[in-house]
Amino acid sequence: MNRTAAGVTLIELLVTISIVAIVAVFGIPSYRSATTANRMAAEINSLTGDLQYARAEAIKEGQPVTVCVSTTGTRCAGSNTWQSGWIVFADANGNKTVNTGGTNPDTILRYQQAFSGNDTLLGTATGSNAGLVAITFNRVGFSTDQGTLVLHDSNHTLALSRCLSISLVGHLQANQGGQCP
């Protein structure tokens, strides 16, 4: 009587486990890097989209529109830590403050909540060491504020860094890999 064994030998099992381990060693870091890069691209694109929206609204409505850091969604925080969230609001008098009272209160147009991860997005005003806490576009789409916003992951990996520069004419320029103008 001939019996054949069905199953896996110890050698076959060890080879399979070795292959899975090798793939995991090389695959997991690549996966983390890809997901971090995609998350950071989404974060900087969200801010870019809201700045473009603010500029378009300023031109369309013929009045200043401001984007500022906001942790509450109702007022400006006066901080340059943009990862805390931001608001876009119609700023009738251009004072970079959400005016809620009076005959012509400012209208909040958009609210972006804080980033869920540990990424940092810091704004620096051009020509100064001061933080870029708000960006206002006037009725013709020019920015009254000039500066750069730099996005870093939690490890400050230079290759993953992204920059967003705002010029006085309202032009937005995005760069990555630490290539800030």
Q: What is the pLDDT of residue 70?
A: 96
Ordered per-residue pLDDT tens for the chain, 181 residues: 566 667 788 888 888 999 988 888 887 777 778 888 889 989 999 999 999 999 999 999 999 999 999 999 999 999 999 999 999 999 999 899 998 877 788 999 999 999 988 999 999 888 776 789 999 999 999 998 999 999 998 888 888 889 999 999 999 998 887 677 6
Please give the pLDDT value at position 127.
73
CA distance 168 to 137: 9
Residues near 111 by beta carbon (within 8 Å), at least 6 away in sequence: 70, 73, 85, 86, 87, 88
In this prediction, residue 51 carries a pLDDT of 96
Matching residue, tokens 């000039």: 146
CB 73 within 8 A of CB 89: no
User: pTM higher than 0.85, yes or no?
Assistant: no
Other CB atoms closer than 10 Å to residue 21's CB: what's the count?
9
The per-residue pLDDT for 31 is 76
Q: What confidence score (pLDDT) does residue 1 get?
A: 57
pLDDT of residue 86: 97
Q: What domains does the chain contain, in order, with CATH numbers?
A: 10-176 (3.55.40.10)
Contact 164, 44 (CB under 8 A): yes
| Burial group, residue 82, by CB count within 10 angstroms (0-12, 13-18, 19+) | buried
pLDDT at 110: 96
Q: What pLDDT score was predicted for residue 177?
A: 74
User: What pLDDT score does 103 carry?
Assistant: 78
